[in-house]
Amino acid sequence: MKRSVRAFFHDPVAVGALAVLLAIILFCAIYPFAAPYAYWEVNTAERHQMPSAAHPFGTDYMGRDLLVRMAWGGRVTLSVAFLTGLIAAAAGTVAGIACGYAGGLVDSVGMRVMDAISSVPGLLLAIVFDYLLGMGHGNFLFGIAIAGIPPFARIVRAAVLEIGGSSYVAASRALGAGPLYIIKEHVIHNVMPLAAVQATTSVADALTTCTILGYIGVGISPPRPEWGLLFDMGRKQLRSMPHLSLIPALTITLCIICLYLVGNGIRDSLSAEGGAHGR
């Protein structure tokens, strides 16, 4: 693991992407408390302002500062993306370990459930959960999280099946080790890096879905901003004030690219460790 960490931090692209992503997260976490404006603050005298010293990202059709609304919107969008990724990772890892280690009927039924979930588009699941549990309060995140479980379950299950047939697990069983000990000492330790790689993809997919939901009006209710909603509101003035939609769109795109680059860095660092062990 230490070799993997060193390999990751020797990858300038992955480290740069991680730095950019952390900078965006820190900005969204800190700036709202230092901003001179509130995200709901209306000032009709400053409607449709272009970027300036007073309003670095300009203002919208109600005179609200776009920079502070981007920060608050990032708190919502990124929180949903990372929370759904965490839920999917936890549930998918547990399901994959259970199916891979138990085998038999548990494995067969569990994988069919994963196939059934995969057959339903994540966007549709999010809309259904938001409708059933109450729209406008973020309940769509449950649908996004559930849609993200099958990839984790399949990856972890495959790793568990491989680990289960290894000589060190056979030796542990011969020495009287029980299932819980084997899972704790051998399985979890080996599958967590794989889950970490998948987690970056899961968060990126959740960020995309959350943005689409905000764009089509299914998500957090206004006046609370969200990046997809900000993009949609700016799109209506794309010709006259393109920055109102370009800033949210470019920020979302940058976050997604950074997540994939971080995931690639984690994957490459794990491959380097595996190659080193192979030699």
User: Tell me: the pLDDT tens digits for 211-263?
Assistant: 888 888 777 777 788 898 898 888 878 888 899 999 999 999 999 999 999 99
Q: What is the pLDDT of residue 276?
A: 45
pLDDT reported for residue 274: 52
List own/partner pairs for 226-231 with CB under 8 A and 24 or more apart: 226/73, 226/76, 226/77, 227/70, 227/73, 227/74, 227/76, 227/77, 227/251, 227/252, 228/77, 228/252, 229/73, 230/66, 230/69, 230/70, 230/73
pLDDT for 48-95, tens place per residue? 889 999 899 999 889 999 999 999 999 989 999 999 999 999 999 899
Q: Could you tell me which of 137, 181, 151, 180 has the C-alpha nearest to residue 91?
A: 151
pTM of the model: 0.84
Q: Are residues 164 and 183 in contact, defined by beta-carbon separation less than 8 angstroms? A: no
- Tokens coding 165: 């047939």
Backbone angles phi, psi at 65, to 5 degrees: -70, 125
The pLDDT tens digits for 160-216 are 888 777 777 778 777 777 777 777 777 777 787 788 888 999 999 999 998 888 888
Which pLDDT tens digit goes with each residue over 88-147?
999 998 999 889 888 889 999 999 999 999 999 888 999 998 888 877 777 888 999 999
CA 41, 42, 45, 50 dihedral sign is positive
List, in sequence order, every residue forming a beta bridge with 65; answer none if it has no partner. Answer: 59
What is residue 108's predicted lDDT score, i.e. its pLDDT? 93
- Specify the pLDDT at position 30: 94
